[in-house]
Structure 1
Protein backbone atom coordinates (compact mmCIF):
# COMPACT_ATOMS: atom_id res chain seq x y z
CA UNK A 1 0.00 0.00 0.00
CA UNK A 2 1.45 3.35 -1.05
CA UNK A 3 1.94 5.82 1.75
CA UNK A 4 0.57 9.31 1.24
CA UNK A 5 3.32 11.92 1.69
CA UNK A 6 2.84 13.66 5.02
CA UNK A 7 4.53 15.85 7.61
CA UNK A 8 4.58 14.96 11.31
CA UNK A 9 2.25 17.26 13.25
CA UNK A 10 4.93 18.59 15.65
CA UNK A 11 6.83 20.01 12.67
CA UNK A 12 3.70 21.72 11.38
CA UNK A 13 3.00 23.11 14.87
CA UNK A 14 6.56 24.46 15.10
CA UNK A 15 6.07 26.26 11.80
CA UNK A 16 2.73 27.67 12.99
CA UNK A 17 4.30 28.90 16.24
CA UNK A 18 7.13 30.49 14.25
CA UNK A 19 4.64 32.40 12.11
CA UNK A 20 2.60 33.50 15.11
CA UNK A 21 5.58 34.55 17.25
CA UNK A 22 7.34 36.38 14.41
CA UNK A 23 4.20 38.44 13.78
CA UNK A 24 3.71 39.23 17.47
CA UNK A 25 7.39 40.15 17.87
CA UNK A 26 7.11 42.38 14.80
CA UNK A 27 4.19 44.21 16.40
CA UNK A 28 6.02 44.57 19.72
CA UNK A 29 9.43 45.59 18.38
CA UNK A 30 8.53 47.24 15.08
CA UNK A 31 11.25 45.11 13.43
CA UNK A 32 9.37 44.13 10.29
CA UNK A 33 12.32 42.03 9.05
CA UNK A 34 11.19 39.34 11.54
CA UNK A 35 8.37 38.56 9.10
CA UNK A 36 11.02 37.48 6.60
CA UNK A 37 11.94 34.44 8.73
CA UNK A 38 8.69 32.48 8.25
CA UNK A 39 8.18 34.09 4.83
CA UNK A 40 11.46 32.75 3.43
CA UNK A 41 11.14 29.39 5.22
CA UNK A 42 7.63 28.76 3.87
CA UNK A 43 8.54 30.01 0.40
CA UNK A 44 11.44 27.53 0.37
CA UNK A 45 9.00 24.82 1.48
CA UNK A 46 6.68 25.61 -1.41
CA UNK A 47 9.37 25.93 -4.08
CA UNK A 48 12.01 23.42 -2.96
CA UNK A 49 10.21 21.09 -0.50
CA UNK A 50 12.69 22.30 2.12
CA UNK A 51 11.39 24.32 5.04
CA UNK A 52 14.38 25.12 7.29
CA UNK A 53 12.13 25.64 10.33
CA UNK A 54 10.76 22.11 9.97
CA UNK A 55 14.21 20.67 9.20
CA UNK A 56 15.63 22.17 12.41
CA UNK A 57 12.57 21.03 14.42
CA UNK A 58 12.93 17.48 13.06
CA UNK A 59 16.14 17.11 15.10
CA UNK A 60 14.07 17.46 18.27
CA UNK A 61 11.52 14.77 17.45
CA UNK A 62 11.62 12.03 20.06
CA UNK A 63 9.96 9.32 17.96
CA UNK A 64 10.27 8.40 14.31
CA UNK A 65 8.38 10.83 12.07
CA UNK A 66 5.87 8.17 11.02
CA UNK A 67 4.80 7.68 14.65
CA UNK A 68 3.26 11.17 14.87
CA UNK A 69 -0.12 12.27 13.56
CA UNK A 70 0.43 12.99 9.86
CA UNK A 71 -0.46 16.27 8.18
CA UNK A 72 -1.15 16.19 4.43
CA UNK A 73 1.64 17.79 2.39
CA UNK A 74 -0.73 19.16 -0.25
CA UNK A 75 -2.82 20.96 2.35
CA UNK A 76 0.29 22.23 4.12
CA UNK A 77 1.63 23.67 0.86
CA UNK A 78 -1.72 25.36 0.25
CA UNK A 79 -1.61 26.79 3.78
CA UNK A 80 1.98 27.91 3.21
CA UNK A 81 0.90 29.74 0.05
CA UNK A 82 -1.69 31.68 2.04
CA UNK A 83 0.85 32.41 4.80
CA UNK A 84 3.51 33.52 2.29
CA UNK A 85 1.05 35.86 0.61
CA UNK A 86 -0.09 37.44 3.90
CA UNK A 87 3.46 37.68 5.28
CA UNK A 88 4.78 39.18 2.03
CA UNK A 89 2.00 41.77 1.82
CA UNK A 90 2.48 42.55 5.52
CA UNK A 91 6.25 42.93 5.17
CA UNK A 92 6.07 45.04 2.02
CA UNK A 93 3.33 47.19 3.55
CA UNK A 94 5.29 47.87 6.74
CA UNK A 95 8.41 48.73 4.72
CA UNK A 96 6.38 51.02 2.43
CA UNK A 97 4.83 52.76 5.43
CA UNK A 98 1.34 51.37 4.80
CA UNK A 99 0.90 50.44 8.44
CA UNK A 100 -2.82 49.68 8.32
CA UNK A 101 -2.43 47.26 5.40
CA UNK A 102 0.55 45.68 7.18
CA UNK A 103 -1.49 45.14 10.32
CA UNK A 104 -4.49 43.77 8.40
CA UNK A 105 -2.44 41.06 6.67
CA UNK A 106 -0.30 40.19 9.69
CA UNK A 107 -3.39 39.98 11.89
CA UNK A 108 -4.96 37.57 9.40
CA UNK A 109 -1.92 35.28 9.33
CA UNK A 110 -1.41 35.49 13.11
CA UNK A 111 -5.03 34.63 13.84
CA UNK A 112 -5.02 31.79 11.31
CA UNK A 113 -1.80 30.32 12.70
CA UNK A 114 -3.00 30.59 16.31
CA UNK A 115 -6.37 29.02 15.47
CA UNK A 116 -4.46 26.20 13.70
CA UNK A 117 -2.36 25.70 16.83
CA UNK A 118 -5.62 25.35 18.77
CA UNK A 119 -6.80 22.67 16.33
CA UNK A 120 -8.85 24.25 13.54
CA UNK A 121 -7.08 24.86 10.25
CA UNK A 122 -8.62 27.77 8.35
CA UNK A 123 -6.48 27.03 5.28
CA UNK A 124 -7.58 23.38 5.30
CA UNK A 125 -11.22 24.50 5.46
CA UNK A 126 -10.69 26.81 2.47
CA UNK A 127 -8.86 24.00 0.61
CA UNK A 128 -11.76 21.62 1.30
CA UNK A 129 -14.31 24.16 0.08
CA UNK A 130 -12.34 24.71 -3.14
CA UNK A 131 -12.18 20.93 -3.74
CA UNK A 132 -15.93 20.64 -3.08
CA UNK A 133 -16.60 23.46 -5.56
CA UNK A 134 -14.39 21.81 -8.18
CA UNK A 135 -16.12 18.46 -7.66
CA UNK A 136 -19.64 19.94 -7.94
CA UNK A 137 -18.57 21.89 -11.01
CA UNK A 138 -17.17 18.72 -12.63
CA UNK A 139 -20.49 16.97 -12.06
CA UNK A 140 -22.36 19.76 -13.87
CA UNK A 141 -19.96 19.66 -16.83
CA UNK A 142 -20.00 15.90 -17.33
Structure 2
Protein backbone atom coordinates (compact mmCIF):
# COMPACT_ATOMS: atom_id res chain seq x y z
CA UNK A 1 0.00 0.00 0.00
CA UNK A 2 1.29 3.43 -0.92
CA UNK A 3 2.05 5.68 2.04
CA UNK A 4 0.10 8.95 2.17
CA UNK A 5 2.27 12.09 2.13
CA UNK A 6 2.59 14.15 5.31
CA UNK A 7 2.60 17.40 3.37
CA UNK A 8 1.61 18.84 0.02
CA UNK A 9 3.56 21.62 -1.73
CA UNK A 10 1.71 24.94 -1.41
CA UNK A 11 1.55 25.58 -5.19
CA UNK A 12 -0.49 22.39 -5.61
CA UNK A 13 -2.89 23.44 -2.86
CA UNK A 14 -3.21 26.91 -4.41
CA UNK A 15 -3.95 25.39 -7.82
CA UNK A 16 -6.75 23.35 -6.27
CA UNK A 17 -8.12 26.46 -4.51
CA UNK A 18 -8.05 28.46 -7.74
CA UNK A 19 -9.78 25.60 -9.57
CA UNK A 20 -12.58 25.56 -7.00
CA UNK A 21 -12.99 29.34 -7.11
CA UNK A 22 -12.87 29.66 -10.90
CA UNK A 23 -15.20 26.68 -11.41
CA UNK A 24 -17.80 28.29 -9.16
CA UNK A 25 -17.49 31.67 -10.88
CA UNK A 26 -17.69 30.00 -14.29
CA UNK A 27 -20.80 28.13 -13.13
CA UNK A 28 -22.43 31.42 -12.10
CA UNK A 29 -21.49 33.15 -15.36
CA UNK A 30 -22.51 30.34 -17.73
CA UNK A 31 -25.31 28.70 -15.75
CA UNK A 32 -23.69 25.35 -16.48
CA UNK A 33 -23.71 23.79 -13.02
CA UNK A 34 -22.03 20.58 -14.25
CA UNK A 35 -18.76 22.57 -14.20
CA UNK A 36 -18.85 21.99 -10.43
CA UNK A 37 -18.13 18.31 -11.13
CA UNK A 38 -14.52 19.16 -11.98
CA UNK A 39 -13.44 20.27 -8.50
CA UNK A 40 -15.99 18.01 -6.80
CA UNK A 41 -14.71 14.78 -8.33
CA UNK A 42 -11.08 15.83 -7.91
CA UNK A 43 -11.51 16.69 -4.24
CA UNK A 44 -13.55 13.58 -3.42
CA UNK A 45 -10.83 11.45 -5.01
CA UNK A 46 -8.23 13.44 -3.10
CA UNK A 47 -9.64 12.91 0.37
CA UNK A 48 -10.85 9.34 -0.19
CA UNK A 49 -8.00 7.68 -2.08
CA UNK A 50 -5.27 10.33 -2.00
CA UNK A 51 -5.35 11.08 -5.73
CA UNK A 52 -6.43 14.59 -6.73
CA UNK A 53 -6.19 14.90 -10.55
CA UNK A 54 -5.93 18.71 -10.37
CA UNK A 55 -2.92 18.51 -8.07
CA UNK A 56 -1.41 15.67 -10.08
CA UNK A 57 -1.48 17.74 -13.28
CA UNK A 58 -0.22 20.84 -11.44
CA UNK A 59 2.69 18.80 -10.07
CA UNK A 60 3.99 18.44 -13.64
CA UNK A 61 4.57 22.21 -13.70
CA UNK A 62 6.56 22.53 -10.47
CA UNK A 63 9.97 24.00 -11.24
CA UNK A 64 11.69 22.79 -8.07
CA UNK A 65 11.71 19.61 -6.09
CA UNK A 66 8.29 19.38 -4.34
CA UNK A 67 10.06 19.28 -0.96
CA UNK A 68 11.54 22.74 -1.60
CA UNK A 69 8.13 24.45 -1.53
CA UNK A 70 6.28 25.61 1.58
CA UNK A 71 4.51 22.49 2.89
CA UNK A 72 0.80 22.26 3.65
CA UNK A 73 -0.38 19.55 6.04
CA UNK A 74 -1.92 16.68 4.06
CA UNK A 75 -4.35 15.76 6.84
CA UNK A 76 -5.57 19.33 7.04
CA UNK A 77 -5.99 19.42 3.27
CA UNK A 78 -8.07 16.22 3.35
CA UNK A 79 -10.33 17.88 5.95
CA UNK A 80 -10.59 21.04 3.82
CA UNK A 81 -11.33 18.98 0.71
CA UNK A 82 -14.14 17.19 2.51
CA UNK A 83 -15.76 20.52 3.47
CA UNK A 84 -15.30 21.87 -0.07
CA UNK A 85 -16.80 18.68 -1.51
CA UNK A 86 -19.88 18.97 0.70
CA UNK A 87 -20.39 22.56 -0.45
CA UNK A 88 -19.75 21.73 -4.11
CA UNK A 89 -22.13 18.75 -3.94
CA UNK A 90 -24.74 20.90 -2.19
CA UNK A 91 -24.40 23.52 -4.91
CA UNK A 92 -24.57 20.94 -7.69
CA UNK A 93 -27.66 19.29 -6.19
CA UNK A 94 -29.31 22.64 -5.50
CA UNK A 95 -28.83 23.87 -9.05
CA UNK A 96 -29.68 20.43 -10.46
CA UNK A 97 -33.11 20.22 -8.82
CA UNK A 98 -33.91 23.87 -9.47
CA UNK A 99 -33.32 25.17 -5.94
CA UNK A 100 -31.18 28.09 -6.99
CA UNK A 101 -31.06 29.62 -3.51
CA UNK A 102 -29.53 26.39 -2.17
CA UNK A 103 -27.16 26.19 -5.13
CA UNK A 104 -25.99 29.75 -4.64
CA UNK A 105 -25.75 29.41 -0.85
CA UNK A 106 -23.39 26.43 -1.07
CA UNK A 107 -21.33 27.79 -3.95
CA UNK A 108 -20.97 31.21 -2.34
CA UNK A 109 -19.64 29.53 0.80
CA UNK A 110 -17.05 27.47 -1.07
CA UNK A 111 -16.06 30.34 -3.38
CA UNK A 112 -15.53 32.72 -0.46
CA UNK A 113 -13.61 30.10 1.52
CA UNK A 114 -11.35 29.21 -1.41
CA UNK A 115 -10.67 32.85 -2.25
CA UNK A 116 -9.90 33.74 1.36
CA UNK A 117 -7.56 30.73 1.48
CA UNK A 118 -5.81 32.02 -1.65
CA UNK A 119 -5.33 35.32 0.18
CA UNK A 120 -3.73 33.48 3.09
CA UNK A 121 -6.35 32.64 5.73
CA UNK A 122 -7.68 29.11 5.79
CA UNK A 123 -11.24 28.95 7.11
CA UNK A 124 -11.18 25.13 7.02
CA UNK A 125 -8.00 25.15 9.11
CA UNK A 126 -9.68 27.43 11.65
CA UNK A 127 -12.74 25.14 11.82
CA UNK A 128 -10.49 22.08 12.16
CA UNK A 129 -8.50 23.72 14.98
CA UNK A 130 -11.66 24.75 16.84
CA UNK A 131 -13.13 21.25 16.44
CA UNK A 132 -9.96 19.69 17.87
CA UNK A 133 -10.02 22.19 20.76
CA UNK A 134 -13.63 21.29 21.47
CA UNK A 135 -12.83 17.55 21.48
CA UNK A 136 -9.83 18.13 23.74
CA UNK A 137 -11.81 20.21 26.25
CA UNK A 138 -14.60 17.67 26.23
CA UNK A 139 -12.13 14.86 27.00
CA UNK A 140 -10.56 16.92 29.79
CA UNK A 141 -13.93 17.60 31.39
CA UNK A 142 -14.96 13.94 31.31
CA UNK A 143 -12.32 13.00 33.89
Q: Which runs of 5+ in 2 are unaligned?
A: none
TM-score under structure 2 normalisation? 0.95
**Partner Cα distance (2:61, 2:139) in 1:** 44
Q: Indicate the residue corresponding to 1:93 in structure 2.
A: 94
Please report the RMSD computed on the Cα atoms of aligned residues, expressed in angstroms: 0.8
- Following TM superposition, the consecutive aligned residue runs of length 4 or more in structure 1 with deviations greater than 2 angstroms are none
The within-5 A match list for 1:60-75 is 60-75=61-76
Q: Secondary structure of the equivalent of 1:7?
A: strand
Give the CA deviation at 1:138. 1.3
Counterparts of 2:100 and 2:60, CA distance in 1: 37
Q: Counterpart in 2 of 1:83?
A: 84
Structure 1 Cα separation of the partners of residues 122 and 18 of structure 2: 13
Q: Equivalents in 1 of 2:33, 2:140: separation in Å?
A: 46
Deviations 1:30-54 (A, max 9, x none): 0101000000000000111000000
**TM-score scaled by length of structure 1:** 0.96
Give aligned pairs, total: 139
How far off its partner does 1:74 sit?
A: 0.8
Question: What residue in structure 2 maps to residue 110 of structure 1?
Answer: 111
